[in-house]
Structure 1
Amino acid sequence: MTDAPTPPRIGPNDILRFVLEIFAIVTLGTWGFTRWTLPLPGVIIGIGAPLLAIVLWGLFRSPRAVFHIDVFGRALVEIAVFGAAALAWWDMGQPIVAAVFALVATVSGVVNGRKELA
C-alpha cells in the first residue's frame, strides 16, 4: 500500500504573501491607469505593468515556477515586484501606504527567506 503524498502546509505567512502579491498587482494596475494620461500611455502601462509583474512572478518566483533559480534570484524578483508597488504608492502621493506596504512585504520576505534557507 502506498502512502499518499502529504499536501504542503500553508501557514499564516503564506496567506499574507498571497495577499501582498495580489495587492502589488492591483497597485501596479491602479498606478498605470491613474498616473498616466489616458488613453495612451495609461492603458498600456495600466495593463502592462501588472502583466509584467505576473509574468516575472510566474516564471521565477511562484511555487511552480518555470525557471528554477536560487533563493537570491527569487528574492531579487520579489524585491522588484514589491518595490515597484511601493514606489507606485509613493508616486500616487500615498507615502504612508508605501511605507507600510514596504515594511510588511520586507518582514514577510525575510521570514519566508529564512524558511527557504533552512
Structure 2
Amino acid sequence: MPEEPPDSRLGVNDFVRFLLELFAFFTFAFWGFVAWPFPWNVAFGVATPLFAIVVWALFRSPKAVIRIDPFGKALVEIVIMGSAALAWLMLGQPIIAVVFGVLAVISGVIAGRKEFR
C-alpha cells in the first residue's frame, strides 16, 4: 500500500508556532542586548539569535538541511523554546516566561502529535 503524502495544509497551530519561533529569536536578541554590558551586549545581541536561527534551520524547519528523527526535532525545539523562556526569567519577567513557555509546550504537543501520526 503506498504511503500517503503528509498533510501540507497550514493551520492555526502552524501560524502560532511561527509566531513563537519569531518571538524566541527576538527574545535572544533582546536578552543579549539587555543582559550584558557593552561591548558584550552587541556580540550576544547579534550572535545569540543568529545561532538559534541557524540551529532551527539546520534541524527543525520544514525544509531542514539535516534530517533527524522526530525525537531529535523535539529536543531541538525544547532547547530553543526553553532557553527563550529562561531568558525572560533571567530578565526578571516571570509572567512572560510562563506564558511563552505554556504556549510553546501546548503548540509543540499539538504539532508533535501531528508529526508522530
Q: Report TM bin, short chain.
A: over 0.9
Counterpart in the other structure of 1:3:
none
Q: CA deviation at 1:95?
A: 0.3
Amino acid at match of 2:19: V
Counterpart in the other structure of 2:98:
99
CA distance in 2, matches of 1:84, 1:47: 16
Runs of 4+ that moved beyond 4 A: none
Gap runs ≥5 in structure 2: 1-6
Counterpart in the other structure of 1:38:
38
Amino acid at match of 1:60: F
Amino acid at match of 1:89: W
SS at match of 1:10: coil
Q: CA deviation at 1:45?
A: 0.7
SS at match of 1:38: coil
Counterpart in the other structure of 2:109:
110
Q: CA deviation at 1:10?
A: 0.4
Q: CA deviation at 1:38?
A: 1.3
Gap runs ≥5 in structure 1: 1-6
Deviations 1:36-81 (A, max 9, x none): 0012x11111111101100000000000000000000000100111
Aligned residues: 111
- TM-score under structure 2 length normalisation: 0.93
Counterpart in the other structure of 1:81:
80
RMSD between aligned alpha carbons? Answer: 1.0
